Amino acid sequence: MDTALNAALSPLGIALDGPIVWRTGRTWRQRFKDFITWMCGSKSNYLSKKILEEYFGGVGYTPATHVYLALCTTLPDDTSTGSTIVETDYASYARTEIGTGNNQTDAWNAATGTTTATVTNKNAITFPTATGASTNPIVGVAVVDASSNGNVLAWASVTSTAIANGDTPKVNAAALSDVED
């Protein structure tokens, strides 16, 4: 793993030995906050339905202009929505936009691969600095189409300790991936 990435995360006590990845039906090893964990995730039922409607039902789908990453203290699942996920409660927390809008052309790198396609975040996703500690550890993340409520598009499991006062959670560029095969 990139030493600069680990150096940037070190003040938070976070050490990564691989990218954050969700992949339907697959499991990936991830080291986060010095614990070895297993990560898996999925597209939400909402997004799966929109894709099917677009390709097979003739119902147009317009992707969200802005998408956000949410830090969750209970693991989302395929039925989760933006109003049912349980997010961290550290003081000053807010969902953080992936990119800066512009129809998400600045949020995600172009897909790579042919039989298996992967997209990654173009830029770092930096959450607000905690002005008070969280009560519960973060155990999942969700990509959501609104800054509050909205629809979960995809989710993944992670393991970490609670966020302490003064921590600034961050996902570095290309560390958040969606894999399709």
Q: Per the domain annotation, does 27 fall within a domain?
A: no
**How many whole angstroms separate alpha carbon 93 and alpha carbon 126?**
11
pLDDT at 24: 38
Mean pLDDT of 85-110: 85
- Percent of the chain, pLDDT > 90? 46
In the predicted model, is pLDDT for residue 152 greater than 60? yes
Domain count for the chain: 1
Q: Per the domain annotation, does 46 fall within a domain?
A: yes
120 beta partners: 177
In the predicted model, is pLDDT for residue 159 greater than 50? yes
Q: Per the domain annotation, does 21 fall within a domain?
A: no
The more confidently predicted of residues 160 and 48 is 48
Q: Per the domain annotation, does 22 fall within a domain?
A: no
Q: Per the domain annotation, does 169 fall within a domain?
A: yes
pLDDT at 135: 93
The answer to whether 71 and 169 have CB atoms below 8 angstroms apart is: yes
Query: Residues 39-62: pLDDT tens digits?
Result: 467 899 999 999 999 989 889 988
Task: Pick from 72-76, 117-121, 159-163 the range whose average pLDDT is largest.
Answer: 72-76
pLDDT at 68: 95
* Full domain range(s) for residue 106: 41-176
Q: Per the domain annotation, does 103 fall within a domain?
A: yes
SS3 146: coil
pLDDT at 35: 30
pLDDT at 133: 95
Q: Per the domain annotation, does 73 fall within a domain?
A: yes
Helix segments in the chain, DSSP class H: 3-9, 45-56
Q: Per the domain annotation, does 2 fall within a domain?
A: no
The answer to whether 176 and 30 have CB atoms below 8 angstroms apart is: no
